[in-house]
Amino acid sequence: MKINKMWIPVFLLPTVVLFLMIYAVPLVMVFATSLFDYRLNAKDMTFIGFGNYSRLFRDPDFFQALSNTVMWILIQCTVHVALGTVVALILYKRPKGWKFVRTAYMVPNIISNAAIAMIFLNIFNPQFGVINSVLKAARLEHLTRNWLMDSRTSFVSVTLIWVLFAGYTTTLVLAQALSIDDTIIEAAKVDGASPFQRDIFVVLPLLKKVIGTTMVMAATYMLQMFDLIYITTNGGPGKATTNLPLLLYSVYKGENNYGYANAIGVCIVVIGIGAMALINKALKVNQEEY
């Protein structure tokens, strides 16, 4: 059927208008106000050029938050996505009860982050939490600690809250795997490939794009991560679990410094775009393959 291309812009127009009003204009405003000394406790805004950005490079809290954010993106893009992919590959073999496992593995992803945070606050509770109780029962009392508030364990403890539950990755990868043409797998079988070889050399390469997509999703999820950290540690102890969104919030709410908070916001956007470009380029997510 011949499509009249003239109508494409007409139907795109509402979306474009919506995007401009809801995302583009605020983004421009965020960048514009980040060039001002814009505080709640000052009568007027003063233009300071890139003053807020130069403060970023002198602020140890920013570097700590940046380092935590990048670390979490890397962990999410590797460990989290790998776990989800492995589970998907196992389920792809359709073992007994695979549909139940697929649903069960998805459950943590449908619970709100606030509820998950509360659950883990209890799990990690130093007084009555499961972890310390199990350690005590196993006569490993010397290993008990305040998991979320000990500088040595807080980062790992917070990471464990989300890194193991890769339901979305599993669902997406599994859906893609199930759509692979059986003839390709049969051909590999005829060529004498073992099940492991078929997974690694046939199935996995065909999942490259969807894995890339899940990595982009994982990275952006980490750039937005706020509620889980806010409820469990509020970025502490010290700045051990502060990421960029949490730092932005504390600058906005605590220091009432909107200009500096917006400069951090611009950094988050830039890092997000950078991470997406990097992942897309590395995994050629947007390129057609023939």
Partner 1 sequence: MKKKWIAVTLAWAMGVTILAGCTTKNPDQSGGNTAKDSGNSGEIVINYPTFQVGVNTAAPVVSQLVEEFNKEYKGKYRIQLEEVPGDANYVDKIKVQLGTGDLPPVVYGGGYNLLDLAVAKDLVLDLTDTVGGDPEWKGLYSDASLETNSRNGKIYASSAEGSIIGYFYNKELFEKAGITEPAKTWDEFFKQCDALKAAGITPLAMDTADSAWVTQLWLGAMAATANEDGLKFMETMNPDDYNTPEMIAAAEKVQTMLREYTTLDAIGGKYENAANNFLSGQAAMIANGPWMIGDFEDEAKAMPGFSDKVGSAIYPGGFVYDAPIQGYFVTKQDDPKLEEAAIAMVKFFTSAHAQQLGLETQGMIPASQTVEITEEAKRKYPLLADFLNQAEEAAIRSDNMQSTMYSNLLDVISQELPRLYSGDLDPKGFCQSLTDGAKKNQ
262 binds partner 1 (CB under 8 A): no
Q: How far is the CB of 148 from partner 1 (least distance, A)?
A: 6
Q: Does 37 bind partner 1 (CB under 8 A)?
A: no
Q: Rule CB under 8 A: choose which of 41, 112, 179, 287 binds partner 1.
A: 41
Rank residues 11 and 100 by Cβ distance to partner 1 and give the closer one: 11
Q: Of 62, 258, 261, 268, which lies in the binding site for partner 1, with binding defined by CB under 8 A? A: 258
Reading phi first (left if > 0) and then psi (alpha if -120 to 50, else beta), residue 235 is in left
Closest CA to 178 of 201, 211, 206, 218: 206
CB of 151 to partner 1, least distance (A): 5
d(CA 265, CA 249): 10
Question: What angle is formed at CA 165 by the lines to CA 144 and CA 109, rounded to 5 degrees?
Answer: 120
Min dist CB 240 to partner 1, Å, is 9
* Interatomic CA distance for residues 169 and 218, integer angstroms: 9
As a whole number of angstroms, the distance between CA 125 and CA 146 comes to 7
Nearer to partner 1, 154 or 171 (CB): 154
In the structure encoding, which two tokens stand for residue 7, read together? 């109508």
Which residue in 2, 43, 96, 142 binds partner 1 (CB under 8 A)?
43
Residues 6 or more apart whose Cβ sits within 8 Å of residue 261: 248, 249, 251, 252, 255
- The token pair at 19 is 């995007």
- Going 47 to 48 to 50 to 55, the CA torsion angle's sign is negative
The residue among 3 and 110 lying less far from partner 1, judged by its C-beta, is 3
The yes or no reply on residue 112 touching partner 1 (CB under 8 A) is no
The interface mask with partner 1, positions 75-104, x = CB under 8 A, is ------------------------------
* DSSP, residue by residue, 70-84: HHHHHHIIIIIHHHH
* Residue among 192, 164, 187, 186 nearest 86 (CA): 164
Stretch that binds partner 1, among 65-73, 108-116, 119-127, 189-197 (CB under 8 A): 119-127
Find the binder of partner 1 among 235, 245, 259, 265 (CB under 8 A). 235
Site string for partner 1, 44-73 (x = CB under 8 A): ------------------------------
As a whole number of angstroms, the distance between CA 33 and CA 258 comes to 8
Of the candidate residues 1, 49, 112, 127, the single one contacting partner 1 (CB under 8 A) = 127
SS3 39: strand
Binding-site residue total for partner 1 (CB under 8 A)? 35
For residue 48, which phi and psi values (nearest 5 degrees)?
A: -125, 15
Does position 153 bind partner 1 by CB under 8 A? Answer: no
Q: Which of 17, 104, 114, 156 binds partner 1 (CB under 8 A)?
A: 17
Q: Is the peptide bond before 126 cis (omega within 30 degrees of 0)?
A: no
137 binding partner 1? (CB under 8 A): no
Binding residues for partner 1 (CB under 8 A): 7, 10-11, 13-14, 17-18, 21, 40-43, 125-127, 146, 148-151, 233-239, 250-251, 253-258
